[in-house]
Chain A
Amino acid sequence: MQPKQSINDFVIKFANVNGTGSASANGMFAKAIFRMGIPVSPRNIFPSNIQGLPTWYEVRISRDGYLGRRGGIDMMVSVNPQSFAKDVGEVEPGGYMLYDSTKPLDLRHVRRDINYLGIPLTEMCLREYTDSRQRQLFKNVIYVGALAALLNIDFSILKDLVGEQFKGKEKLITPNIHALEMGHQYATTHFQCPLGIHLKAGEQTPKHIQEFDQILMDGNTAAALGAVYAGATVAAWYPITPSTSVVDAFEKYCRRLRIDPGTGKKNYAIVQAEDELSAMGMVIGANWNGARAFTATSGPGVSLMSEFLGLAYFAEVPAVLVDVQRAGPSTGMPTRTQQSDILAAAYASHGDTKHLLFFPATPAECFSMTVEAFDLAERLQTPVIIMSDLDLGMNEWMSPPLEFDDNYRYDRGKVFSGEDLEAMTERFGRYLDVDGDGIPYRTYPGAHPTKGAYFTRGSSRDEYAAYTEDGDVYVRNMDRLLKKFETAKSLVPEAKIKPAAEPTKDALLFFGTTASPAYEALETLEKEGIHLDTLRLRSFPFTQEVEDFIEAHDRIFVIEQNRDGQMRRLLLNETNVEANAKLISVVEYDGLPVTARKIASVIRGAMGINNVTPLVPKEKELAS
C-alpha cells in the first residue's frame, strides 16, 4: 500500500507505559511543532494509575488550525507491548507504526496495509546507559530524536526546549541532546527521511491562527490565573482528578505574586480540606466575610458540595467553583473527559435551586470567565460554576494570549460599608429588594458597631433576615430569588452566534470543548453544501438570544459529551419556546473528546445525505 502523504496535516499517537517519563518527552515533541508555527493539539489519554498501565498521547497537526480530535491515527509510536495489539489496529491504512525492534515483531499483529519503522530503542539504551532509570527515560528522548528526522522537526528547536526544560539542572542538558541525536542519526541512516507525512515550517496558517501570537497552555492553569487576577484570597479544595492542577497552579502563582514585601507573609490562604463538603463550606464562610474565595473539583465533588451550594443559593452568599468534568456516574472513568455534570450543577441541591453556569471553550476563556465569575458571584450573591472538562483543563491548547484590561475594576456587588450604614436613616433589611432587580444589599461582619448585623441562615426568613414560617413571606422570597435569576440573564456571557454562508433553518448548538470539532465539522459540511447556523452557548441561565435562535430554526443539533443529552434537557426546561421536536441530540460519551468526523457523519446521516447510523437510535434522539 502507498504510504500516506500529507504535509502539516496528520495525527500521531504515542503508546507509552505510565510512570516511565514519557510525558515530558512527548510534551517536548508537541511544543517543538508549535514553535515551528504549525497548528498542533496534543492530548493525554491516561489511566487512573501511578505506574505501569498503558497511557497514550495523541497529537494532531492541522494546517487548517483545527484543534479538536479528528479521529483516526496516521502514525503510532508504540513503546508499550501491553497495548500493541490494540494500537496497531488503530492505524489508518497507509499509516506508519514506529516500534521498538529490540525484539522481533509479533507476527499475529502484522498488517500488510501499514508501514513499519523499527528502532531498537531498548537495545540502544542498554548499550549506552548503565543506570536502569536512565535506560527507561532516554528511550523516550531517542524516539523524539528519530521523529525529528522522520517528520522534519527543526532540531535546533528541540535543543532549545531541552535547555529550557533543564534550566538549573544544566548537567542533564548534554545527555538529553545526545539521546536526541542518537535517535536522529538512527532514523537518517535506516529510513528514507522525511516520511510521506511530515512537517513544513513557513506554510500559510488560517486567519484565526494568524490573528494572534498563539500560546500553548492548559485550561486549569488559565483558570487559576483567572482566580489570581480576580483577587481571590482564599482557596479551599480537596484533591480530585482532573481539577487538582487548578489549585496547584493558583498556589504557584500566589507564591510568586502574593507575598507581602514588608513582612514576607502571604496575602492568600489555601487549605486542603478534609473533603469537598468542607472545601465548599470554607469558600462560603470566606465569601460571607468579604473575601473572594473559590474551589475546584470534579463530578464526585459536585455531588458532595450540593448541600452547601443550596445554602449559598438560598442564603445568598457568593461562591466560585471550577468544575473540571470527568466521566461519571459515580467514580466513572476518572481520567476520561465528559460534559456530564450539566444538570447536576445547574440544579445542585434539594428544593427549588438553580445556579449560574459558565462554559469556557479555550484556555483564554477559562481565564476571562474565572475573572468574570467572581464579579457575577458577588453582584448576584450566588454561586457561579465554571464548567470546564478534563480535555480543556489538563491538555495544552493553542490559544490566543491571555488578556487583561488594567482599567477594569472588580465589581464587588451591593455591599453597605460602615460609612454607608452610618449615613443610613432607615432600617437595614438584608433581603429587601431595594432596586427592583431581586438583588438585596449585604454587609460584612464587623462593618459597623450598631448597624447592619444580621442572621444568615439556610432557613426561611423575612426581608429583615428574621426566621419565618409564614407562607406568604416564603413565597415572596422565593419569587425574588427567581427575579434575581432573571436579572442574571442580562449579566452572563452571551452566546456566540455564527450564521451559515447561506440562509438555513438548520443549526448546530454546542458549548465548551465540543466547539472545536463542531466548527471543523461545520466547515467540512459547508464544502459539501450542507449549511448550518451555529450557536455556542457560554452560560446558563439562557439569554433571550438563545430562545430567539431556537425559535428561528426548524432543526437544531445539540452536540454534547454525555449520554442523556443533558444540555438539550436543560434547554427544554429553561426556555419558553416549544423546542422538543426541534432539538436533536448528538451525543458522544466514551470518555474521549468527540471528533469532527463523528459530528459530520451524524449530521450527514440525519440529513439523509448518506446512510450513516446516528450515534444514538433515532427514537431516543427525539424523546424528551
Chain B
Amino acid sequence: MTYAKPAFRHPDAKTNDVGCTRRDYEGGLSTLCAGCGHDSISAAIIDACYELSIEPHRVAKLSGIGCSSKTPAYFLSGSHSFNSVHGRMPSVATGANLANRDLIYIGVSGDGDTASIGMGQFAHVMRRNLNMTYIVENNGCYGLTKGQDSATMDTDSVSKKGDINPYTPIDLVRVGIEVGATFVGRSFSGDKAQLVPLIKAAISHRGFALLDVISPCVTFNNHQGSTKSYASFREHNESMPVDFVPRREAITTSYDAGVVHEVCMHDGSVLRLQKVNEEYDIEDAQSALDAIAHHAKEERILTGLLYINRDSEELHDVLQTAGKPLNTLSQRELCPGSRFLDSINAGLR
C-alpha cells in the first residue's frame, strides 16, 4: 500500500457510551475493488458496533477464505481476529465461543465459503444455535479466482463470460430457518438504513443470527443478465424496513404506512419492523418460509428480518456450561490432584 490512513482525529468527534469515537471501530484500508459491496457491509458493522457502544476488544472477528473473509481486517482493528481456512470458520467460532462465552462473536463469510465448501459446517453451527452473528457477503460468484458461479447464483443468471447458470441456487435464509438458526435476516449492501439496524439486532440476539447480505461484485457479477447486480437487486428487492431501538431509549421513528410489529429482544432492546402483509408472522418458521417462497415465485426478494425465535437455548444452555468462561478456570479448579488418582488406581486393582 502506498498510503496510510491519517492518524489525525477530530478533537470534537462524538463519543459513544464507552467513550469511543466511530474511528475506534475502523480497521485497515480495504484492498477490495472500488465499489465492492463488501466495503459497505464493513462500514455498516462499524456503525452498528459504534452505535451499540460495544467495547472493540470484547469482540472476536472470525472468517474463512475469500474476498468477504478478508474484510475483518477492515473494521474493528481493536478486536482479535481469526481468518481461518476455507469454509471452516463455524468450527473455529464454536471452539472460541466454548472457551469464552463472554465475548461477542462476529463471523464474516462469503457465498462460496458458506454455501459450497463450508455448507456442512454452516448447517451444523446453526443447528447448535451458537451465540454469534454470521454475516454472509453474498455476491453469487468467486471473486479471487476470477468470477466463477457460486452455489447461491440463481438459475439462468448470466455470467460475465455469457454462460447461463443451469443449477439450482441455495437460498441461505431458507436453509437457516430449516436447520435451526434463531435469527434470520436478509439485506442488501446498498441499503444501509436497513442493514445497520439488522446488524445491531443480530448482535443483540442471543443465539445464532444469520444475515444473508446481497453484496454485488462490481468486477465479475454486476453486468446485465446477472441477478446479483446492483441494478437487478434494486429492481427485485422487496424491502421490509427495520428499526432497532436500544434498551432504555425512547422510540422516535415512526412508520408512515404498512404494518408495524415490535419485537422485544432478550437484552431489552426493541426491534420495530414493517412487514409486507399482516398474515406473515416472523416468529413462526413456516410462515417465514412461506413468505420467502411466495415472494421468490413472483421474482421478488424479500429483505429485512425474516425470522426470529427469541426464546431459544443457545449452545451453552444446551451444554449447561458454567457461567464463568472456561478459559478463566484455574488449575486449582480443574485438576483433581493426586488423592483422586489414588482412588482411581485402587479401583483398577
Interface residues of A (CB under 8 A from B): 35, 213-217, 225, 228-231, 233-234, 236, 257-258, 260, 263-271, 273-275, 277-291, 293, 307-308, 311, 401-406, 409-410, 443-450, 453-459, 467
Contacts and interface: CB of A to CB of B under 8 A. Distances in A.
A467 B99 contact: no
A86 B56 CA distance: 69
Nearest to A405: B338
B83 A456 contact: yes
A231 B57 contact: no
B165 interface: no
B80 interface: yes
Contacts of B55: 449
Interface in B313-334: 315-316, 319-324, 326-327, 329, 331, 333-334
Given A282-B98, A284-B84, A286-B95, 20 more contacts: A215-B345, A216-B349, A265-B320, A269-B326, A274-B123, A278-B94, A278-B120, A279-B91, A280-B91, A285-B93, A286-B96, A287-B95, A288-B95, A288-B96, A289-B95, A289-B96, A404-B337, A444-B100, A446-B80, A458-B84
Q: Which 9 A-B pairs have the closest CB atoms?
A: A285-B95, A281-B91, A291-B99, A445-B80, A282-B95, A289-B99, A286-B95, A231-B334, A290-B327
Interface residues of B, number: 60
Interface in B28-86: 55-58, 60, 62, 72-73, 77-85
A267 B80 contact: no
A265 B95 contact: no
With most chain B CB atoms within 10 A of its CB, the pick from A287, A289, A405, A410 is: A289
Nearest to B78: A453
Nearest to B31: A467
B250 interface: no
Contact of B337 (A234, A286, A308, A406): A406
Given A269-B321, A289-B327, A291-B327, A450 B57 contact: yes
Contact of B322 (A35, A214, A236, A267): A267
A457 B341 contact: no
A446 B84 contact: no
B98 A404 contact: no
A583 B123 CA distance: 50
Contact of A281 (B58, B84, B128, B341): B84
Given A233-B326, A257-B336, A445-B80, A215 B348 contact: yes
5 contacts: A228-B335, A285-B98, A293-B95, A409-B331, A443-B80
B185 to A, nearest CB: 24
Contacts of A258: 334
Max count, chain B CB within 10 A of own CB: residue among A269, A402, A404, A456: A269
B280 to A, nearest CB: 32
A226 to B, nearest CB: 11
B96 A285 contact: yes
Nearest to A409: B331
A215 B103 CA distance: 44
A230 B337 CA distance: 10
Contacts of A270: 319
B85 A311 contact: yes
A156 to B, nearest CB: 16
Contact of B329 (A230, A233, A409, A444): A233
A273 B345 CA distance: 32
A231 B331 contact: yes
B80 A307 contact: no
Contact of A446 (B60, B90, B121, B319): B60
Nearest to B57: A449
B78 A450 contact: yes
Given A271-B94, A278-B121, A288-B92, A311 B84 contact: yes
A402 B339 CA distance: 11
Contact of A289 (B72, B73, B83, B100): B100
B174 interface: no
A404 B94 contact: no
B171 interface: no
A285 B337 contact: no
A448 to B, nearest CB: 6
A215 B96 contact: no
B169 to A, nearest CB: 23
Given A257-B336, A453-B80, A454-B80, A446 B58 contact: yes
B205 interface: no
A154 to B, nearest CB: 15
Interface string B168-201: 0000000000000000000000000000000000
Contact of A267 (B102, B326, B345): B326
Contacts of B336: 228-229, 257
Nearest to A449: B57
Contacts of B321: 265-269
B124 A269 contact: no
B341 A455 contact: no
Choose among A216, A266, A285 the residue with the greatest number of B CB atoms under 10 Å from its CB.
A285
A257 B340 contact: yes
B58 to A, nearest CB: 6
Contacts of A280: 91
Nearest to B72: A455
A286 B97 CA distance: 7
Contacts of A403: 338, 341
Most chain A beta-carbon contacts within 10 A, residue among B95, B97, B327, B333: B95
B344 interface: yes
A286 B57 contact: no
A230 B331 CA distance: 8
A528 to B, nearest CB: 36
A39 to B, nearest CB: 14
A264 B57 CA distance: 30
Contacts of B316: 269
A266 B323 CA distance: 9
Nearest to B103: A446
A268 B56 CA distance: 27
Nearest to B98: A269
A264 B83 CA distance: 36
B86 to A, nearest CB: 9
A306 B122 CA distance: 20
Contacts of A308: 85, 88
Interface string B96-120: 1111101100000000000000001
A285 B99 contact: yes
B322 A289 contact: no
Looking at B73, B98, B124, which has the most chain A CB atoms within 10 Å of its CB? B98
B334 A282 contact: no
Nearest to A281: B91
